[in-house]
Amino acid sequence: MERLKQAIRERGNVLSSEVLKVDTFLNHQVDVELMGAVGEEFARLFKDDGVTKVLTIESSGIAPSFMAATNLNTPLIFARKKKSLTMNENVYVSQVYSFTKRETNDITVSKDFITAEDTVLIIDDFLANGQAALGLIDIVNQAGAKVAGLGIVIEKSFQDGRKRLEEEGYRIESLARIHELEAGRVTFIDELVTNNN
Ligand code: 5GP
């Protein structure tokens, strides 16, 4: 998605060879127009897959998921990272190791909101090693529901999340795929030129 790649190039901040900061349009301040376009693209990609629920993880997954769910005409559910006091024991729980925070957290979703009849589209802001995605898949599996696929805003293709998920047979649609973060610069997979010289 060209518009997204342009935002990453112009408004992203390469913190290291592993971490990209996108606080300007996704992770803190939200560019609602861009996130609207991102959500529309996810909805277009999964429109024929019988999606009944969109599932993400708080908080940065919510913005890109919102317009996807709006366009697919489904509810949006976000997994909670901290158990709310108003949540009873009626929850699915999975453990997720956070790439950016370097800690393991339980994520929870109420059993009221995903059932065996559901086909679930999972959306997240980043795909790195696939831990968040695997935790969300685990929750869908606990519910006996079907995973339609994964919609990722920014995939860091040099980490092994995609490989892990593809090995398990899941469909992944990433709107921007990063080959490398190097010297403050982002290179996307589709910009690589084959040079045989
Ligand atoms: P994974 O679970 O695939 O290892 O990492 C994905 C999760 O970690 C995402 O939910 C995202 O919040 C966070 N994350 C991973 N890499 C980055 C990154 O380079 N920048 C930012 N802002 N978040 C990241």
Q: Residue positions in the annotated binding site?
A: 20, 27, 128-132, 156
Distance from C-alpha of 123 to C-alpha of 133, rounded to nearest angstrom:
8
Q: For residue range 50-61, what is the model confidence (pLDDT) as tens digits?
A: 999 999 999 999
Residue 166 CA to ligand 1 center (angstroms) comes to 18
Distance from C-alpha of 190 to C-alpha of 184, rounded to nearest angstrom:
19
Distance from C-alpha of 3 to C-alpha of 19, rounded to nearest angstrom:
21
pLDDT at 188 over 70: yes
The domain defined by 2-196 folds into Rossmann fold (3.40.50)
Q: Is the dihedral of CA 190, 158, 61, 15 positive or negative?
A: negative
Q: For residue range 51-95, what is the model confidence (pLDDT) as tens digits?
A: 999 999 999 999 999 999 999 999 999 999 987 666 668 999 999
Ligand 1 and 125: CB distance under 6 A: yes
Lowest mean pLDDT among 8-12, 83-87, 121-125: 83-87
In whole angstroms, what separates CA 9 from the centre of its chain? 19
Domain boundaries, the chain: 2-196
